[in-house]
Amino acid sequence: MAEKRYESTFLLSSNIQEEPLVAIIKKFEDTITKSDGKILNTERWGVRRLAYEIRKHTSAHYISIHYTAPPTTNAKLERTFQLDEDILRWLTLEMPDENHQARIAMKTRSETVEARKLTMAQAKIDADSAPIAPVKSVIAVDED
């Protein structure tokens, strides 16, 4: 079977500490690799506020795993999601190549904008901290 590119995004309870969080992510990555998949990238978006309450949670850890795998891998991965009580929601999408290229372009653009913002902020800090040259005041006196 031909491998396809997928993106699987899931929400984990915000009550989970760092160590168990890493173990849960590793469990899902192992599920993919054991099913002949290949992990391309794992993104941790951090804790974000939910638009609406899910199982009495108002915030969650957002995790996104990009991988290539045979289509049968998704059934195994989603079964693992169902069995884990810390998973609040999940969504797996097939990523056509043109979507992947657009995503890379958008990410590059956002990184460029962020770098520009940081440069401008640093320039403002430098300008604010630069010594101010004394201004000579000249008072013109009319002698009539």
Domains of the chain: which residue ranges? 11-95
**What is the C-alpha R_g of the chain?**
26
- What are residue 63's DSSP bridge partners? 10, 44
Task: Please give the average per-residue pLDDT across 82-100, as a whole number.
Answer: 84
**Fold of the domain built from segment(s) 11-95:** Alpha-Beta Plaits (3.30.70)
> pLDDT tens-digit profile of 1-55?
568 899 999 999 988 898 999 999 999 999 999 988 899 889 998 899 999 999 8
Pairing of strands 38-54, 4-13: unpaired
Measure CA of the first residue to CA of the last residue in the chain; give whole Å: 102
Buried b (16+ CB within 10 A) or exposed e, 27-63: ebbebbeebebeeeeeeeeeeeeeeeeeeeeebbbbb
Task: Report pTM.
Answer: 0.66
